[in-house]
Amino acid sequence: MPARPLVLYPDPRLKTPCAPIEAFDETVRAWAEDLLASMDAAPPRTVGIAAPQVGILSRLAIVDTSRNPKHPDGHGLLILVNPIIIAAEGEQIFREGCLSLPDYTANIRRSQKVTVRAADLSGQSLVIDAEGFEAVVLQHEIDHLDGLLFLDRVANVKTDLFRRKNA
Ligand SMILES: [Zn+2]
């Protein structure tokens, strides 16, 4: 279960909508292990990763907000196959970063609460109600599966996009 190299913007794979996963087999379990290993190899406090960020163009993502001690609430490790947002409400603006855009952060407007339906690695259905930070991360990772980056959601590049200080 090796960490895979990160796919960085502007690689076209990040703009490609990912294919649904239809078989819950060893291949998908191996992808999930690679994704988890890639998350472990990423900077500390990395709270989400999506399969296309390691070159797998299938609808698989991992969210684990417990990796950021500032955000102790949440469900812990979530391995999500074919996740979709089935309900959303409210609004929040949060400063987001992304492993595929290491030099930037941006203020992004998203729903305050979401309900996500997904499958786990055995194909069992999951329904997750999340709010606040965890809801942001879920929306961010599901966007990746649709070929969307936070850059695509920046309302005003002049005021909402920031270059990281160490970049
Ligand atoms: Zn990202």
**Ligand 1 center to 146 CA (angstroms):** 12
**Ligand 1 center to 98 CA (angstroms):** 4
pLDDT in tens, 33-70: 999 999 999 999 999 999 999 999 999 999 999 999 99
**Ligand 1 center to 129 CA (angstroms):** 21
Residues in the chain: 167
Residue whose token pair is 């599901």? 142
Tokens of 112: 């305050």
Q: How far apart are CA 23 and CA 139, in angstroms?
A: 24
pLDDT, tens digit only, all 167 positions of the chain: 689 999 999 999 999 999 999 999 999 999 999 999 999 999 999 999 999 999 999 999 999 999 999 998 899 999 999 999 999 999 999 999 999 999 999 999 999 999 999 999 999 999 999 999 999 999 999 999 999 999 999 999 999 999 998 65
| Mean of pLDDT over the chain | 96
Quote the number of domains for the chain.
Answer: 1
- For residue 123, give its domain range: 12-163
To the question of pTM greater than 0.85 for the whole model, the response is yes
1 within domain boundaries = no
- The three-state secondary structure class of 157 is helix
**Ligand 1 center to 4 CA (angstroms):** 15
Which residues belong to the active site?
141
The CATH number of the domain holding residue 139 is 3.90.45.10
